[in-house]
Amino acid sequence: MKTQLPLPRLTAALGLLLAGATLLTPSARASEGTVIAKPGGAPIATELPLEVAVLTKAPNVPPPIGRKHPAKVVVNLEVKEVTQRLADGVEYTFWTFGGEVPGLFIRVREGDVVEFHLNNHPSSKMPHNIDLHAVTGAGGGAASSFTAPGHSSQFTFTALNSGLFVYHCATAPVPMHISNGMYGLILVEPKEGLPPADREYYVMQGDLYTQGATNESGLQAFDNVKAMDERPTYVVFNGSVGSLVGDKALQAKVGEVVRLYFGVGGPNLTSSFHVIGEIFDRVWTEGGMKHVQENVQTTMVPAGGSAIVEFKVEVPGTFILVDHSLSRAFNKGALGMLKVTGPENRRLYSGKEIDEVYLGQQSAAGSAASTREAQLVAQKAEAIAKNPEIANITKDIQLERGKKVFLSACFACHLQEGQGLPGVFPPLAGSDYLKADKERAVRTVLKGLSGPITVNGKPYNNVMPPQEFTDDQVADVLTYVMNSWGNASGSVSSDEVKRIRRAGQ
Ligand SMILES: [Cu+2]
């Protein structure tokens, strides 16, 4: 932070500090070290013109600011948990800022007052927050932005320092939230702006830890042991293997100046960022605006850090972006492409391309084969699911599992044949109460039931305690009950249980 501030900025900064002080009451500490702020900080008053920030998905960057004066900039960022492709045939449940990994790119100007709205989608399972390294204030906004699913938080900060800054979720367990995709970049342009470039792109590296080995197919879960050991199964650019390869490669024309806003979300690895076949004419090292290094081959970018690299492309070809810790590039995914088109310049370079040697499995043909394989695997799964014989077997398995749950708990009161005990435990066999309302039956098992009810015309007024089972077990036992002893009233899926459990919280 600078020591001498012009008066309006100083008051704004003071306001922020004071707001921060009142926000962080000791009672506002949540479990697992996450600090939650209570609402009540007075919004920073400002007479500045209002603007809504343009946010972009990687590899796109919002247009340069162009303004010559500060503004109040409103940022609306939505947190969403989404299951999508990590590699061919490999799926992962990402936690995202804006439905994308990395999170949407934010661009403001030094001196802007940023009114930040963090909206956590109702379908999220986790609370999340945001720590922007561009913020001067406790937690970088984390405490003030802690947001439960289906809620939205607002806080305001003044962008005092220009630079390219990482933002990330800082909710416990923080490494897991970051690894799952919760990181992005915010560029605070210096007052005088940045020199123009012909192409600006957004690339961000992250490390992932899956329970399966690298390239093991299917939906993969987070592996905390591998994360603690810093042994990633994937190291990727822009959220997935191959996100910048083939027809998704970055594009440029001979003679253009290409600028990359490069960041590392981590959570753990630093990047030795390099573009094979190019030399960075200029590097704003560590994302700071003051010192521009020239003629750099590889720039070191720390976890939670950034760099701006810029180079003029003189010859056509495919230039490969890598983390020069090369096993990460060739075996774990940290590889992208910049395709430069235009006339050859044989005086500078003879022009023989070496794509195949460098790309191995990730060449266009290899990638197409993997995609086809993934499609066939999906087709096979679909065909199996549609086969009535297999559907019946699946249901039979569910009934047997449900029976085990019933015999481990419910039967103690409702008795083996679901007949119940007159006046004490209502019957489940032939129960009109059960048949009438499936959701109510799910709630009964999850939360218990007490007070007067009528089953098959007979009154009961007793207490059923909540049953401690997983969503699958609740689905299985109710499906079993609904299809036993003459009952024929359908089935319950574990997704329905999950939804009802969440709605009841
Ligand atoms: Cu989070």
What residue type is 414 in one-letter code? H
What residue type is 143 in one-letter code? A
Looking at residue 40, its pLDDT comes to 59
- Reported as a single tens digit per residue, the pLDDT across 397-410 is 888 888 888 987 88
Looking at residue 357, its pLDDT comes to 44
Map 324-375 to HEC letters: CCHHHHHHCCCEEEEEEECCCCCCCCCCCCCHHHHHHHHCHHHHHHHHHHHH
Looking at residue 45, its pLDDT comes to 61
* Cα of 362 from ligand 1 centre, angstroms: 31
Residue 467 in this model has a pLDDT that exceeds 80 = yes
Looking at residue 504, its pLDDT comes to 80
* Cα of 143 from ligand 1 centre, angstroms: 12
Q: Are strands 458-464 and 449-455 parallel, antiparallel or unpaired?
A: antiparallel
* Cα of 501 from ligand 1 centre, angstroms: 21
Contact status, residue 294 vs residue 281, Cβ threshold 8 Å:
yes
Q: Of residues 236 and 15, which shows the higher confidence score?
A: 236
Residue 189 in tokens: 């342009």
Looking at residue 133, its pLDDT comes to 97
DSSP 198: S
Residue 432 in this model has a pLDDT that exceeds 90 = yes
Residue 392 in this model has a pLDDT that exceeds 60 = yes
* Cα of 80 from ligand 1 centre, angstroms: 9
Looking at residue 477, its pLDDT comes to 94
Looking at residue 42, its pLDDT comes to 58
Distant-in-sequence, close-in-space partners of 490: CB < 8 Å, separation ≥ 6: 438, 482
3-7, 53-57, 85-89, 404-408 — most confident range: 53-57
* Cα of 128 from ligand 1 centre, angstroms: 4
Q: Of residues 416 and 18, which shows the higher confidence score?
A: 416
Looking at residue 19, its pLDDT comes to 34
Let me know how long the chain is: 505
Residue 26 in this model has a pLDDT that exceeds 50 = no
Residue 126 in tokens: 């986790």
* Cα of 130 from ligand 1 centre, angstroms: 8
Residues 293-300 have a mean pLDDT of 97
Residue 418 in this model has a pLDDT that exceeds 70 = yes
3-state SS, residue 127:
coil
Residue 378 in this model has a pLDDT that exceeds 80 = no
Distant-in-sequence, close-in-space partners of 39: CB < 8 Å, separation ≥ 6: none
* Cα of 184 from ligand 1 centre, angstroms: 12
Residues 328-339 have a mean pLDDT of 94
**Residue 285's pLDDT band (boundaries 50, 70, 90)?**
very high
* Cα of 210 from ligand 1 centre, angstroms: 18
* Cα of 264 from ligand 1 centre, angstroms: 17
Averaged pLDDT score across all residues of the chain: 86
* Cα of 126 from ligand 1 centre, angstroms: 7
- Reported as a single tens digit per residue, the pLDDT across 98-137 is 999 999 999 999 999 999 999 999 999 999 999 999 999 8
* Cα of 433 from ligand 1 centre, angstroms: 41
* Cα of 95 from ligand 1 centre, angstroms: 7
The pTM of this model reads 0.61
What residue type is 37 in one-letter code? A
* Cα of 266 from ligand 1 centre, angstroms: 14
Contact status, residue 201 vs residue 229, Cβ threshold 8 Å:
no
- Give the whole-angstrom CA distance, residue 86 versus residue 238: 10
What residue type is 215 in one-letter code? N
* Cα of 500 from ligand 1 centre, angstroms: 23
- Give the whole-angstrom CA distance, residue 132 versus residue 168: 7
* Cα of 105 from ligand 1 centre, angstroms: 17
pLDDT cut 90: percent of the chain above it: 66
* Cα of 142 from ligand 1 centre, angstroms: 10
* Cα of 364 from ligand 1 centre, angstroms: 34
Distant-in-sequence, close-in-space partners of 329: CB < 8 Å, separation ≥ 6: 235, 320, 322, 323, 335
DSSP per residue over 281-301, as a string?
Answer: EEEEGGG-SS-EEEEESEEEE
For residue 465, say if its preceding peptide bond is cis, omega within 30 degrees of 0: no
Distances (CA, A) of 124 to 94, 173, 278, 366, 387: 11, 16, 42, 35, 33
Strand partners, 159: none
H-helix or E-strand containing 244? Answer: none
Residues 436-462 have a mean pLDDT of 93
- Give the whole-angstrom CA distance, residue 47 versus residue 53: 18
30-39, 297-306, 387-396 — most confident range: 297-306
- Give the whole-angstrom CA distance, residue 202 versus residue 463: 59
Residues 350-364 have a mean pLDDT of 51
What are the helix and strand counts (H, E) for the chain?
12, 23
201-215, 388-402, 406-420, 465-479 — most confident range: 201-215
Q: Work out the number of other CB atoms within 10 angstroms of the CB of residue 327.
A: 10
